[in-house]
Amino acid sequence: MGWMSGDDNDERGAVRVELPDGTELELSGDANGAEAAAAIGPGLARAALAVKVGDEIRDLSAGLTDGESISLITDRDPEALDLIRHDAAHVMATAVQEIYPGTKVTIGPAIENGFYYDFEFPEGVTVTEADLPAIEDAMRRHIKADEQFVRRDLPVAEAIEIFRKQGEDYKVELIEDLIADEGVETVSLYRNGEFEDLCRGPHGPGTSRIKAIKLNSVAGAYWRGDENRQMLTRIYGTAFFSKGDLEAHLEALEEARARDHRRLGPQLGLFMLREEAPGMPFWLPNGTVLLRLIEEQVKEQLDRRGYEEIATPQVMDESLWHRSGHWDNYVDDMYFMDVDDRRFALRPMNCPGACLVFGSDRHSYRDLPLRLAEFGKVTRNEREGVLHGLLRVRAFTQDDAHVYCTEEQIEDEVRDICEAIDELYSRFGFEDVEVELSTRPEKSMGSDEQWDKAEAMLARALESQGREFRVNPGDGAFYGPKIDFHVTDALGRSWQLGTCQLDFQMPERFDLYYTDADDTRRRPVMIHRALLGSMERFAGILIEHYAGRFPVWLAPVQAKILPVADRNIEFAEGIAADLAERGVRVEVDDRSESVGKKIRDAELGRYPFMLVVGDREQEEGKVAVRSHEEGELGAMDVQEFCMLVGT
C-alpha cells in the first residue's frame, strides 16, 4: 500500500518508487524528489534538501524512474551537512564576485568540517582575513534572499563558449579535461542569484536552508596542486543548520588551536621547525626525553614478545628499490643521490633492509617466527604544501618490525601484535581503539589469488579475536593488505596509528626461504608492523591530546624547583641532585626573578609539580609542593614527594 500522487496520472503514466520502510509510493510519470516529499507529507516537503536514489544523492528537482529505491535527505541525515556546505561555497563565490568584480573562480568543494573556494583576484587586489566579515555579510544577504539553486545541462561546446566569454579560463580548462579524460558530451551548471558555476551537484533547493556560516581563514593554493601553476587565494569556511552547532564547532576549533602542537612544541622546549630543513623537526632536550620515554614503552613490548633489534642503513643502492617494488610503486616519494658513479636512495621504508638481514643467513622452521624490530629513520619526498608540524613530515622514525613466519603462524602473530597495541595505547591514555582492514589498492603488485588469500587471512585473524572491524577498500599497502588501528583523542578526533600488514610479495622478490622439517625450502610470510606508526607523529598527537600537560610518568621534566631567593639556590640544587638520584626528572629555576613570576612561568611550562623552597623549607629540609592540576599540596620531604611522583 502506498500514497497516491495526483488524481489519475492520466496520459503521463506513473512511476512507483520504494521508500526506506519498503512502502511503495506511486507518482506521476514526470515526478521528481520534491514531488515525492510532498506526496508523503507537507512537513517533509518543507524539510527535504535532496533525494537519495540508491547510493546517489540528487537534487530534489531531478526526475525519478520507475522501480527506484529512494529516501529524502533532511537536516537529520549525515549527508546533509556536506550538502549545505557545498551550497555555502557557491554563496561565498557569489559574494566574492559581487565585492571584487573580475575575480575568477576555480573549484569550491565541501570538505571535512566545512568548505573552501579557490579564487584568482584581479591584479592589485589582496584578500586577507580582515576582509572575511564583509564577505560573510554579503553571504548572509544572499542566504536571506533564498536564491534557488537551478541546474541546467549544456553541450560542452556551449558551456566552453559561455565561460570563455566570461574570462573564466579555469572553467574552460576543467571542461576540456573532462572531455579528454571522461569523454563527456554535456556538463551541468548551477545558478544561484547572479552566480553560475560549473558543478556536478547536487545542491539543496535554496540558499535559505543554510542557517549559520563562518569564514575561518585565507591561504594560498596552487591551481590543481601544481607548484608550477598559478598561485590562487583559498578561503575556508563552514556552515551549519543552527547557530548553536556553529558556536560549538568554533569552541572546538579554539580548543584545538590552544592544543596545537606547533605552538606548544617550541613553548615547552620539545621541538622546533626551521626553513633550513622543511618537514624535518629539530628535537630539543625536553623533546628528546619525551621520545626516549615513548621508545621505552615500545621496547618493553619488544622485550616481552620476543623481538630482536636490528639497525640497517638509511642510504642504499637504487637497484635494491627496483628489487623491492618501491621503484614501480613509490618512486615519486623518494629522495636520490649520486655518489661514485652510483645512484643511491634514502630509504622511504625499512622493509628492504630487514629482508637483506633475513636473507643473509640460513633459517630453519625452528627459527620461525623470527621477529626483527628496528627504530628506523626514513625520509619521504612529501610536497611542502602538505607538511604539517609533526603530523606530516619528510624525515621521521618508525617503531618498525618485520615478522617472518609460516602461514600457520599468521593468526597467532597478528593476535600478538593486536594485544601489544591494546596494552601500549592504554598506557598512553587511549582506550577507544577502532580497527580497519584495508584491501588491495589500484597501484600494487602480486596476483589476485595472493591478495584474496592475504585479505582473508587478516580478516580471519581479527574475527578469531572477536574484534569488530570495518573494511576500507583500496587503501592497502602496494605489497599487501593491512590492519590499521585508530584512536580517539581528547577532542574526539580520530588518528590512525599502528598498522599490521601481510606481505607475500617481498619474500618472493628477495628470494627468502627457510628449511622445513622435511628439509625442503619454503617461502616465509612477512608481516610488517608498527605499533605507533611514526614516533614524531605520535608525539605530536600526544602533545595535543594532553594539551602539553603530560601525565607525571611521561612529562620530560616532572618537577621544577623554584628558589624564593638567591640564597636558597644552593639548597634547591641539593634537593634536585637528591631527586635525580631517585629517578625524578627535575630542573632548578635559578633566575633572579620573583617567586610569583617563576610560578607563572612554570605554569606556562606545564610541569606536573612545582617545588617552592624558601628560608622555612630550607630550615626544615622540605619543599612546598604545588601541583599543576590540584594546586597547593603542602610541605613534604624528598621521600614523601618521590612517593607522590611514583619513583
The pLDDT tens digits of the residues spanning 444-462 come to: 989 999 999 999 999 999 9
Q: Which three cell numbers stand for residue 496?
A: 590512525
Instruction: Provide φ and ψ at 467, rounded to 5°.
Output: -85, 135
Whole-angstrom Cα Rg for the chain? 31
Strand-pairing partners, residue 403, are 371, 527
Neighbours of 9 (CB within 10 A): 16
Q: State mean pLDDT over 193-206.
A: 95
Are the C-beta atoms of residues 598 and 539 closer than 8 Å to each other?
no
**pLDDT of the residue at 474:** 93
Are the C-beta atoms of residues 582 and 524 closer than 8 Å to each other?
no
Among 199, 347, 351, 622, the active-site one is 351
Active site residue 484: no
Active site residue 400: yes
Measured distance CA(27)–CA(280) in Å, rounded: 62
Q: Which three cell numbers stand for residue 574?
A: 641539593
Amino acid at 181: D
Among 58, 234, 528, 626, the active-site one is 528
**pLDDT of the residue at 2:** 32
373-419: per-residue pLDDT in tens?
999 999 999 887 788 999 999 999 999 999 999 999 999 999 999 99
**DSSP-assigned states of every residue in 93-111:** HHHHHHHSTT-EE----EE
| Ordered alpha helix ranges (H), 277-325 | 285-304, 318-324
Model pTM greater than 0.75? yes
One-letter-per-residue 3-state SS of 471-516: EECCCCECCECEEEEEEECCCCCEEEEEEEEEECHHHHHCCCCEEC
pLDDT band at 1 (very low <50, low <70, confident <90, very high): very low
Are the C-beta atoms of residues 127 and 215 closer than 8 Å to each other?
no
| Residue 6: pLDDT over 80 | no
Q: State mean pLDDT over 176-192.
A: 94
Amino acid at 499: T
| Residue 4: pLDDT over 50 | no
Are the C-beta atoms of residues 104 and 168 closer than 8 Å to each other?
yes
Distance of CA 428 to the CA centre of its chain: 19
pLDDT band at 431 (very low <50, low <70, confident <90, very high): confident
Neighbouring residues of 255: CB distance < 8 A, sequence distance ≥ 6: 491
Q: State mean pLDDT over 237-253.
A: 95
The CATH fold assigned to 557-645 is Rossmann fold (3.40.50)
Measured distance CA(548)–CA(534) in Å, rounded: 19
Q: State mean pLDDT over 324-346.
A: 92
pLDDT band at 514 (very low <50, low <70, confident <90, very high): very high
283-300: per-residue pLDDT in tens?
999 999 999 999 999 999
| Residue 3: pLDDT over 70 | no
Among 482, 529, 560, 622, the active-site one is 482
Active site residue 363: no
User: Would strands 195-198 and 110-111 be described as parallel, antiparallel, or unpaired?
Assistant: unpaired
Measured distance CA(592)–CA(611) in Å, rounded: 16
Measured distance CA(303)–CA(403) in Å, rounded: 14
Instruction: Provide φ and ψ at 39, rounded to 5°.
Output: -65, -30
80-256: CATH class: alpha beta
pLDDT band at 228 (very low <50, low <70, confident <90, very high): confident
One-letter-per-residue 3-state SS of 169-182: HHHHHHHHHHHHHH
What residues does CATH 3.30.930.10 cover in the chain?
Answer: 272-545
Instruction: Provide φ and ψ at 421, rounded to 5°.
Output: -65, -45
Measured distance CA(399)–CA(458) in Å, rounded: 21
Active site residue 131: no
One-letter-per-residue 3-state SS of 223-248: HHHCCCCCEEEEEEEEEECCHHHHHH
What residues does CATH 3.40.50.800 cover in the chain?
Answer: 557-645
| Residue 279: pLDDT over 60 | yes
Q: State mean pLDDT over 114-132.
A: 95
CATH 3.30.930.10 fits 272-545, yes or no: yes
What residues does CATH 3.10.20.30 cover in the chain?
Answer: 14-73
Measured distance CA(125)–CA(123) in Å, rounded: 6
Are the C-beta atoms of residues 508 and 454 closer than 8 Å to each other?
no
Active site residue 199: no
Q: How high does pLDDT run on average in the chain?
A: 93
**pLDDT of the residue at 28:** 85
**pLDDT of the residue at 12:** 53
Active site residue 380: yes
Q: Give 613's Cβ-side CA count (13 Å radius).
A: 29
b vs e for 291-304, b when ≥16 Cβ sit within 10 Å of the residue's Cβ?
bebbbebbeebbee
**pLDDT of the residue at 15:** 87
Are the C-beta atoms of residues 626 and 605 closer than 8 Å to each other?
no
Which of 31, 59, 58 has its CA nearest to residue 3? 31
Instruction: Provide φ and ψ at 282, rounded to 5°.
Output: -100, 120
| Residue 554: pLDDT over 90 | yes
C-alpha distances in angstroms, 59 versus 62, 86, 152? Answer: 5, 13, 12
What residues does CATH 3.30.980.10 cover in the chain?
Answer: 80-256
Q: State mean pLDDT over 596-600.
A: 94
Q: State mean pLDDT over 205-229.
A: 92
**pLDDT of the residue at 295:** 97
**pLDDT of the residue at 647:** 77
561-589: per-residue pLDDT in tens?
999 999 999 999 999 999 999 999 999 99
User: Would strands 56-58 and 586-588 be described as parallel, antiparallel, or unpaired?
Assistant: unpaired
User: Would strands 586-588 and 559-563 be described as parallel, antiparallel, or unpaired?
Assistant: parallel
Measured distance CA(400)–CA(530) in Å, rounded: 5
Region of 141 on the Ramachandran plot (φ > 0 left; ψ -120 to 50 alpha; else beta)? alpha
Among 402, 529, 598, 626, the active-site one is 402
Among 399, 400, 484, 589, the active-site one is 400
**pLDDT of the residue at 5:** 35
Secondary structure of residue 342 in the 3-state scheme: strand
Q: Which helix (H) or strand (E) holds 422?
A: helix 410-427
* Domain covering 14-73: architecture: Roll (3.10)
